[in-house]
Chains A and B, each alone.
Chain A
Amino acid sequence: MNIIETNHLSRRFRHTEAVHDLTFAVPEGSICALLGPNGAGKTTTIRLLMNLLEPTGGSSRVLGVDSRRLGERELAQIGYVSENQQMPLWMTVRQLLDYCRPFYPTWDVALEKKLLAQFDLPPERRLKQLSRGMLMKASLLSSLAYRPKLLVLDEPFSGLDPLVRDDFVRGVLDASGLGEWTVLISSHDIDEVERLADRVALLEAGRLSFGESTEELLGRFRRIEVTFSGSAPRDFSPAAGWLEWETDGSLLRFIDSRYERAATEQACRERFPEAAVRAHPMTLREIFVTLARSGRTQPKGTLT
């Protein structure tokens, strides 16, 4: 079952198309990362899903309900944490929790206490007196304590120091391990997302470049090094999916975006019969940098 589904979702701001014809789905129980540079349309997509913005085209469904008709019942099952969210800063942490608690039938007081201790939040301090990181943790706490079915995190790591990030990620991972929670996280911080996400989608200029599981993505990208006894050839016909090839003396390097061990070895043997071939795994960051440089956006498709 898909917790989130969008169908040709679009949003235009005057002359700018922030989100264009976006179709993707997030299955239940997954941690899905929406990646992309600043201005790619990540926040707009999340705001459309949360009914904070009206789409100019297409539709989206969250928890099986049209997102424009999200009601109390659905919102009681959604946790939302955003760097842009306006918090009631005059409240203390305890007042925030006291205020939120009655709205959620599933509020877990024991989990609230556990997270309060884990996040090291001072209950009697006003939110406006908290640092940015502490404020985000307070927001996360008030969004986790009722065990939401869906947790939506919009750029949660912006401006957070590494220690707070670690706390934050640990909080999300611990919480998601408690049940069949689905997490949608938007970020341009690929390193943090790599620790969290089991699915990734890349947005560029409001369009979905691709979406697939992290495992598949990491599996199909390899940095290939081919070592020749003499000089590496400057002229050869690359196989489909080979990107960014370069030579350095006897070394030829390229990135294979459709890596399969046997097929890649076979392709290399056909082109470079005398050379030694080594394949190195890549990080998510390296993959995204490669894609951004090459301008390649294949394979386009849906994240399912």
Chain B
Amino acid sequence: MNLTWHIIQKDLRRLNGLLAIWAAGLYVLILAKGGPKPVPNSSWYYMILFVIFSCRLLSLSLIAWVVQEDGLTEGSTFWRTRPVTPGRLFAAKLTLLAALFIFLPLLAGICARFLGPEPETITFATWLGDAVGFFICMTLSAAALAAFSKNLAQFLFAGFLCLIFGFIWMVRIQILAHASSPLTFRLQWISPTHLSELLCTALAVGVLFNQYFGRKLMISIGLILVALIVCPLILALAPGGTHVAVARTGNIQFEAMVVTKAEFQRHMSASVNDRLRPATYAELAALRGSAQPDYLVVRVLATGSGSWDGEGIAKIDGREPGYKFTTKTGVPKEWVEYLIPVDGAIYGDRKEAGNGPIVSENSPVVSVSWTSANQQ
């Protein structure tokens, strides 16, 4: 019998109960994705959030249990006095972690993607790249922390400390970067998120190798410190390098229109998939002076990987100076709507501006241009 498989079987037997609960959580999420989209703030919505959070926490705990089942930090662990080489143990753990926490969630994600009632907004290849990067980084980083800690409590505490440290460090760097713009840098070939995931994964692999084969505590501490310092640094500094908006518009879809207040109110009480109907000049003219402001609506969707923020200007019928708005899209990957109350003074008077007569059945034309768009 293959001894690596023998170790994997032992770990599966050890964690079978918790793995069943975790798998049930994944299944619920797939089913939820296949059903109607939950209404925000509904009990179903919070239930889904709870399941997502529980699944994530349980998967981190399971990663720690898998690694710590054959502990690396203490000298008298069972496996070290038995004919189990570090290489064989490492192979067994890595295989199990990859199967459970990279392959299975990806499979679940693919199922959910194809089960979903709406067409997805980002391409499959982009989604797959993001998901693979995320799951590999999360699994190996958690495994590295687990290999470094003695038990689950220590692992969770260390993870919490790392998150807090990373967050504070990133905020500090962002403040410094804004005060001194030359500190920022530009990444053209890879997104900052992917770069920091890649670095984090590489360092996690380094920690795991050291814990299994070298057992030099200071090296592991050093690698974890490098990850804690450099990854937030990349995330904090790289977005400071702005990209020309035009070059990035391929990754941002948008719709822009003017709607009446009544249409806006109808839309707000309808389901999330409801589409807005642009107002006609005639409708807008009829409402003028009724103290019912119209709304300029800009809907933005990030279609590329990562999240995007930026600044755009929406002009109604080309009139200057337009309306500035800022965007933040990408997490989650769905339409983000910007609603700007406007009055009728800036449109419907193109005749005066020399742009030809208004056709009352037509709608005002809203153009959007980007002044900046940053990828994160």
Residues of chain A touching chain B, judged by Cβ–Cβ distance below 8 Å, are 47, 50-53, 71-73, 75-76, 78, 80, 82, 84-88, 90, 95, 99-100, 102-104
User: Which B residues from 1 to 53 make CB contacts under 8 A with A?
Assistant: 1, 3, 6, 10, 13-14
Q: A12: shortest Cβ distance to chain B, in Å?
A: 16
Given A102-B6, A103-B84, A104-B83, CB of A87 within 8 Å of CB of B78: yes
Residue of B at shortest CB range from A105? B83
Residue of B nearest to A142 (CB): B82
Q: Is B85 interfacial (CB 8 A cutoff)?
A: yes
Closest beta carbon of chain B to A110's beta carbon, Å? 20
Specify the chain B residue showing the minimal Cβ separation from A54.
B215
Name which of B68-76, B179-187, B259-267, B270-278 contacts chain A: B68-76
> Which residues from chain A contact B84 at a C-beta distance below 8 Å?
72, 75, 103
Contact A47 B83 (CB under 8 A): no
Q: Is the CB of A86 within 8 A of B83?
A: no
A86 to B76, CA, bound (A): 6
Query: Is B319's beta carbon under 8 Å from chain A?
Result: no
A72 touches B85 (CB 8 A): yes
User: Contacts A72-B85, A76-B83, A103-B3 known; A82 to B10 CB distance under 8 Å?
Assistant: no
Closest chain B residue to A86, Cβ basis: B77
Give the bracket for the number of chain B residues in contact with chain A: 20 to 34
> What are the residues of chain A within 8 A of B69 when measuring CB–CB?
88
Q: How far is the CA of A49 from the CA of B194 in the complex (A)?
A: 46
Q: Is B81's CB within 8 Å of the partner chain A?
A: yes
Q: A86-B74, A90-B14, A103-B3 are in contact. Are A71 and B85 (CB under 8 A)?
A: yes
Neighbour of B3 across the interface among A47, A50, A95, A102, CB < 8 A: A102
- Tell me the minimal C-beta distance from B200 to chain A in angstroms: 30
Q: How far is the CA of A87 from the CA of B74 in the complex (A)?
A: 12
Q: Which of A71, A76, A84, A99 is within 8 Å of B10, CB to CB?
A: A99
Establish whether residues A47 and B75, one from each chain, have CB atoms under 8 Å apart when the complex forms.
yes
Bound-complex Cα distance A167 to B82 (A): 24
Query: A50 vs B88: C-alpha distance in the bound complex, in angstroms?
Result: 19
Report B236 CB to chain A, min CB distance, Å.
39
User: Separation in Å of the B367 CB from the closest CB of chain A?
Assistant: 66
User: How far apart are the CA atoms of A104 and B69 in the complex, in Å?
Assistant: 21
Cα distance, A93 to B196, chains bound together (Å):
46
B1 and A52 contacting across the interface, CB-CB below 8 Å:
no
Among B3, B6, B14, B78, point to the contact of A85 (Cβ < 8 A).
Answer: B78
Known: A47-B75, A52-B75, A102-B1. A85 touches B81 (CB 8 A): yes
B82 and A103 contacting across the interface, CB-CB below 8 Å: yes
Q: A51-B80, A72-B85 are in contact. List 8 more A-B contacts (CB 8 A).
A: A75-B81, A75-B82, A75-B84, A88-B78, A102-B1, A103-B82, A103-B84, A104-B83
